[in-house]
A and B are shown apart, each in its own frame.
Chain A
Amino acid sequence: MTFIRVDDVHKAFGDNAVLRGMSMGVDLHEVVCLIGASGSGKSTLLRCLNGLEPVDAGTVWVGDIEVTAHDVDLDEARQKVGIVFQQFNLFPHMSVLANITLGPRKVLRQGAGEAESNARELLERFGLSDKADDYPDRLSGGQQQRVAIVRALAMKPEAMLFDEVTSALDPLLVGEVLDVIRELKSEGMTIIMATHEMGFAQEVADRVCFLANGQVLEQGSPEQLFGKPQQDLTRAFLARVSR
């Protein structure tokens, strides 16, 4: 069952057309990895999926909500999909616990006690219990990114978007963040992930999409896409990243 559907989406920043007739679909419980050169539109696509960037043309559906409709309640649509950014974007003036409970308390209208016990449960699951009262700048990059994931999960989203979540991390800390994503996959979370970690994409993805020129140029199972790429551009890209 298709959960997220992107249909002929165009998006430009000034003269720079980033998405040019992008179309794709993601099924419930599917893990899709977006790969492609910097500027190929991976981040922009993810940001269009939850309405952080308005599209110039085309439609985006998340579940039964059309995110691109002119009268859409974006605040409601955004509760369905969590997004995690490359730069973590934790709120520096709040403790880890406050970061995580802000959304549930203010948007889902949970009581402070309920929100807090949910948050502690999530922190426990991802090995962060002892960080609950710390401020973000006391944490390592890997810990900050895991907190950012927990913060998104606390909203009980139906899908998660990961925007190059390991690109800003020390190589030693990449593993702990990828572990979290593995765990989410094993629970059946629907995931769209822009990444430069080809090895990880090969391991967890049900489907890999190669983005070029603002479109999905080629897609398929990891075996297909990494093993027998059909397009010259795909081959060139893979040759460059595997070097």
Chain B
Amino acid sequence: MTTPAEAPLEAPLIPYVDPQRHARGKRKARRDAVIASLSTVVVFAVLAFLVTATPGWDAVKETFFNWDEAVAAWPTLLTAFALNIKIFLIAEVCILILALVIALGRGLRAPVALPIRILCTVYVDFFRGVPTILVILLLGFGVPALQLKGVPNSPVIWGTVALILSYTAYVAEVYRAGIESIHPSQRAAARSLGLSSVQTTRYVVLPQAVRRVVPPLLNDFIALQKETALVSLLGPIEILRAAQISASANFNYTAYVVAALFFVAITLPLTRFTDWLQKRDTRRRMAGVR
């Protein structure tokens, strides 16, 4: 079957721009670029001058930005940072899975599933309300104190578990918001094809929901990556603890600054990626509006 409506109604239009306007536009773009670079250079030059000209600058530089200290400290910090990376990578994988289970559990409507729904809701309410640092102390010192047989008492393990418990609550809410943002008509369309409720969630609702929540989810992961430093409270030599040791040995805080740079370096790509995703999402949705 061919439909005449398919045929284009008019020939494609060739863009036409007045050459004078075009030239004027180009001139303006060039002028704008020059102004932008000039103002940037001037502002930053003035800032640099003001900072270095401040009376206390030499002391500040010596204590926080000591090049020799930085060079001496960074290999140790890098080794220690490997532990932070290990903690958040393991935690992120566990959180992604557990949070999805909790979010789906809260969405169960069958009467027999009521206890599951209650458990999931209580879990989220509790761990969203309790400070992460408290959970870390409670598990990290509390569980090994029980001296249970067969239960590991490594502070790294219990610190990671605490982070997982705390962040799963947040991420579960992110998932749930995504699931609830899918219009009911999508569910109706899937059910009317004969798909079961589970199949509808699996093939129609979840894929769309997860795509929608990637930016807020990455946001939570950025926060998590920083919070791995809290595990230092339990004693293991991760980067913050390593920086602390170095700082107190030399009475110099450069190691903290280097540690800070490590955290920024690892979160920056993720922040930029999140920004890019969000922008792409907006663009797509705008393109969808006809």
Residues of B within 8 A of A183 (CB): 1
Q: Is the CB of A85 within 8 A of B185?
A: yes
From 46 to 84 in chain A, residues with beta carbon under 8 angstroms from any chain B beta carbon are 47, 50, 52, 74-76, 78-79, 82-83
Q: Distance in Å from the Cβ of B84 to the closest Cβ of chain A?
A: 35
Q: Which of B9, B189, B204, B290 has the most C-beta atoms of chain A within 10 angstroms of its own C-beta? A: B189
Q: Distance in Å from the Cβ of B200 to the closest Cβ of chain A?
A: 10
Q: Is the CB of B5 within 8 A of A78?
A: no
Q: Which of B199, B203, B208 has the most C-beta atoms of chain A within 10 angstroms of its own C-beta? A: B203
Q: Is the CB of B5 within 8 A of A89?
A: no
Choose, from A4-12, A34-42, A100-108, A219-227, the stretch at the interface: A100-108
**In the bound complex, what is the Cα–Cα distance between A175 and B208 (angstroms)?**
31
Residues of B within 8 A of A108 (CB): 194
**In the bound complex, what is the Cα–Cα distance between A173 and B3 (angstroms)?**
10
Asked if A152 CB lies within 8 Å of chain B CBs, one says yes
Asked if A176 CB lies within 8 Å of chain B CBs, one says yes
Q: Distance in Å from the Cβ of A150 to the closest Cβ of chain B?
A: 12
Q: Is the CB of B191 within 8 A of A102?
A: no
Residues of B within 8 A of A103 (CB): 193-195
Q: Is the CB of B194 within 8 A of A52?
A: no
Asked if B68 CB lies within 8 Å of chain A CBs, one says no
From 122 to 136 in chain A, residues with beta carbon under 8 angstroms from any chain B beta carbon are 125-127
Asked if A137 CB lies within 8 Å of chain B CBs, one says yes
Residues of A within 8 A of B193 (CB): 78, 82, 102-103, 107, 151-152, 155
Residues of B within 8 A of A173 (CB): 5
Residues of B within 8 A of A180 (CB): 1
Q: Distance in Å from the Cβ of A194 to the closest Cβ of chain B?
A: 15
Asked if B235 CB lies within 8 Å of chain A CBs, one says no
From 160 to 202 in chain A, residues with beta carbon under 8 angstroms from any chain B beta carbon are 172-173, 175-176, 179-180, 183
Asked if B118 CB lies within 8 Å of chain A CBs, one says no
Q: Distance in Å from the Cβ of B101 to the closest Cβ of chain A?
A: 22
Known A-B contacts A75-B194, A106-B199, A107-B195; the reply to A125 vs B189 at CB < 8 A is no
Residue of B nearest to A148 (CB): B189
Residues of B within 8 A of A175 (CB): 3-5
Q: Distance in Å from the Cβ of A141 to the closest Cβ of chain B?
A: 8
Q: Is the CB of A52 within 8 A of B192?
A: yes
What mask results when residues 85 to 116 of chain A are scored 1 for a CB within 8 Å of chain B, else 0? 10101111100000000110011100000000
Residues of B within 8 A of A83 (CB): 192
Residue of B nearest to A175 (CB): B5
Asked if B211 CB lies within 8 Å of chain A CBs, one says yes
Asked if B196 CB lies within 8 Å of chain A CBs, one says yes
B5 in complex: contacting residue of A47, A93, A152, A172, CB < 8 Å = A172
Asked if B188 CB lies within 8 Å of chain A CBs, one says yes
Q: Distance in Å from the Cβ of A186 to the closest Cβ of chain B?
A: 11
**In the bound complex, what is the Cα–Cα distance between A82 and B185 (angstroms)?**
15
**In the bound complex, what is the Cα–Cα distance between A187 and B73 (angstroms)?**
80
Q: Is the CB of A50 within 8 A of B6?
A: no
Q: Is the CB of A179 within 8 A of B3?
A: yes
Residues of B within 8 A of A89 (CB): 185-186, 188-189
Q: Which of B2, B3, B185 has the most C-beta atoms of chain A within 10 angstroms of its own C-beta? A: B3
Asked if B207 CB lies within 8 Å of chain A CBs, one says yes
Q: Is the CB of A176 within 8 A of B3?
A: yes
**In the bound complex, what is the Cα–Cα distance between A52 and B184 (angstroms)?**
11
Residue of A nearest to B212 (CB): A93
Residue of A nearest to B285 (CB): A137
Asked if B288 CB lies within 8 Å of chain A CBs, one says yes
B2 in complex: contacting residue of A78, A82, A106, A127, CB < 8 Å = A127
Asked if A214 CB lies within 8 Å of chain B CBs, one says no
Known A-B contacts A102-B203, A106-B199, A137-B287; the reply to A142 vs B5 at CB < 8 A is yes
Task: Give 12 A-B contacts (CB < 8 Å), ordered by A residue.
Answer: A52-B191, A75-B194, A78-B191, A78-B193, A82-B192, A85-B188, A91-B189, A93-B207, A102-B195, A102-B203, A108-B194, A126-B1
> Apart from A91-B208, A102-B203, A175-B4, what 17 extra A-B contacts exist at CB < 8 Å?
A52-B191, A75-B195, A75-B196, A79-B194, A87-B185, A91-B204, A93-B208, A93-B211, A102-B193, A103-B193, A103-B195, A107-B199, A127-B1, A141-B290, A151-B193, A152-B193, A155-B194
